[in-house]
Amino acid sequence: MKEQLAKIRAEALSAFEGIRDAAALDELRVRYLGKKGELTALLKQMGRLTPEERPVMGQLANDVRAALEKALEDCSAKLEAEALTAKLQAETLDVTVPGKAVKQGHKHPMYFALDEIKDIFVGMGFTVLDGPEVELAELNFDRLNAEEGHPSRDWSDTFYFDRDSRVMLRSQTSPMQVRAMDTMSLPIRIIAPGRVYRKDEVDATHSPMFHQVEGMVIDKNVTMADLKGTLNLLAEQLFGRGTVTRFRPHHFPFTEPSCEMDVQCHKCGGAGCATCKGEGWIELLGAGMIHPNVLRMAGIDPEEWSGWAFGMGLERTAMRRFKIADLRLIFENDIRFLEQF
Ligand code: DAH
């Protein structure tokens, strides 16, 4: 037994020497000092010894246990110290290395244009509203006087979520007119910018997702003169003093009369060039006097109140404002393009 004890001691001590990590150390602890370890197994055989031998062996076994426990502790302390040194070394910071310059971004050109538009209208007492892109067809169409069967309600034009065509991605910001009428008290002056969606193929002037800014005024004695005055002011503030506009008759279900506003081409001054496709004018927005049906459906008496509204494409306005030729540049977010603004 004496030899066995000496053997365990020698083996264990040399094993502890070679240990490099905590898991391996724990394995050794279990192997030699654990309940089912080699030392314990040996001690269980003490019963076979003579009464004289027992205390001697007991003493010897205790010495071995103490030696192993000490080796275990030393080894564990050494591993901890090594881990700390490695961690400190890995985390050293060379304060003399030159810093990496942080690239600073800036606002997207389309949002420069939007902020200008917001400033212009907020300055005239309008409130800016935000609304859902997932909209009820009831608000996008019915409440805007676009009855069942209206071409824009077709599945080929609109992204619907359900078979009954009740929930959709809004195809225009105009449902915000209805939301404003339903929730605000009169008189109302609002603009509502945001994303809209249509099943269009991507090209230089189309994208299935684009942005509009809706605007609406409802008050007493509001006339087409207010519409023209306000929108002319918008054109002058966006594109410079003396910007010439023209209003053409048009049709929208939710306005009567309806019109489109064009701005004289900034490139050729109306003579006709590539920018305006030879027209001399560039279409900027749709507008009109709010249809009495739309007011009535919102519980507003058209005999007492009247209003006007407009909707403009934001990308198109930004393209004109910054002379950008292709709509795709606005969404591709190529740094070389964005850096120019
Ligand atoms: N919603 C129309 C469109 O997407 C634009 C528009 C036209 C909005 C006339 C209006 C309006 O508020 O009065 O083409």
Q: How far is the CA of 3 from the centre of ligand 1 (A)?
A: 100
Do the Cβ atoms of 239 and 284 come closer than 8 Å? Answer: no
What DSSP assignment string belongs to 149-176?
Answer: T-GGGSTTTS-BSSTTS-EEE-SSSTHH
Q: How far apart are the CA of 174 and the centre of ligand 1, in A?
A: 6
Q: Tell me how many helices (H) and strands (E) the chain has.
A: 12, 9
CA angle, 183 then 137 then 294, to 5°: 50
CA 171 to ligand 1: nearest atom: 4
CA distances in angstroms from 181 to 190, 270, 291, 298, 339, listed in the order given = 10, 39, 13, 6, 41
Compute, in angstroms, the gap from residue 202 CA to the centroid of ligand 1: 21
Burial of 221 per CB tally in 10 Å (0-12, 13-18, 19+): exposed
Q: Tell me what pLDDT residue 111 has.
A: 94
Q: H or E stretch including 316?
A: helix 314-322
Q: What is the spatial distance between Cα 31 and Cα 174, in angstroms, rounded to a whole number?
A: 78
Q: State which ligand 1 atom lies nearest to the alpha carbon of 214.
A: 12
For CA atoms 326, 329, 335, 339, give the dihedral sign: positive
- Ligand 1 centroid, distance to 206 Cα (angstroms): 17
Query: Average pLDDT of 262-268?
Result: 84
- What pLDDT sits at residue 80? 87
Say if residue 143 is exposed, middle or buried (CB neighbours under 10 Å; 0-12, 13-18, 19+): buried
Please check the confidence at residue 3 and state whether its pLDDT lies above 90. Answer: no
Q: Do 213 and 117 contact (CB within 8 A), yes or no?
A: yes
DSSP for 85-100, written as a single string: HHHHHHT---TTSPPP
268, with CB counted inside 10 A (0-12, 13-18, 19+), is: middle
Q: What is the pLDDT of residue 158?
A: 95
Residues 182-208 pLDDT 10s? 999 999 999 999 999 999 998 888 899
State residue 60's pLDDT score.
83
- Residue 280 token pair: 């001399």
β-sheet bridge partners, residue 258: 250, 288
Ligand 1 atom 10: residue of nearest CA: 310
Answer whether 300's CB lies under 8 Å from 178's CB: no
Distance separating alpha carbons of residues 199 and 151, to the nearest angstrom: 13
The atom of ligand 1 lying closest to the CA of 172 is 4
Lowest-pLDDT range of 61-65, 110-114, 196-200: 61-65
Computed over every residue of the chain, the mean pLDDT equals 91
Nearest to 318 by CA among 197, 193, 208: 193
**64 Cα to the center of ligand 1, angstroms:** 93
- For residues 78-103, give the mean pLDDT: 87
- Indicate the top mutation candidate among 234, 252, 259 to test ligand 1's pocket, ranked by most ligand atoms within 8 A of CB: 252
pTM over 0.85: no
Give pLDDT tens digits for 31-41.
888 888 877 87
Number of Cβ within a 10 Å radius of residue 41: 12
- The Å distance, Cα 338 to ligand 1 centre, comes to 29
pLDDT at 65 over 80: yes
Pocket probe for ligand 1: among 174, 211, 315, the residue whose CB has the most ligand atoms within 8 Å is 174
The residue ranking higher by pLDDT, 10 or 334, is 334
Q: Positive or negative, the Cα torsion across 17, 18, 23, 27?
A: negative
Q: With 80 as the cut, is the pLDDT of residue 164 above it?
A: yes
Q: Is the pLDDT confidence value at 90 over 90?
A: no
Lining ligand 1 with CB less than 6 A are: 172, 174, 214, 252, 255, 286-288, 309-311
Higher pLDDT, 57 or 189: 189
CA of 152 to the centre of ligand 1 (A): 12
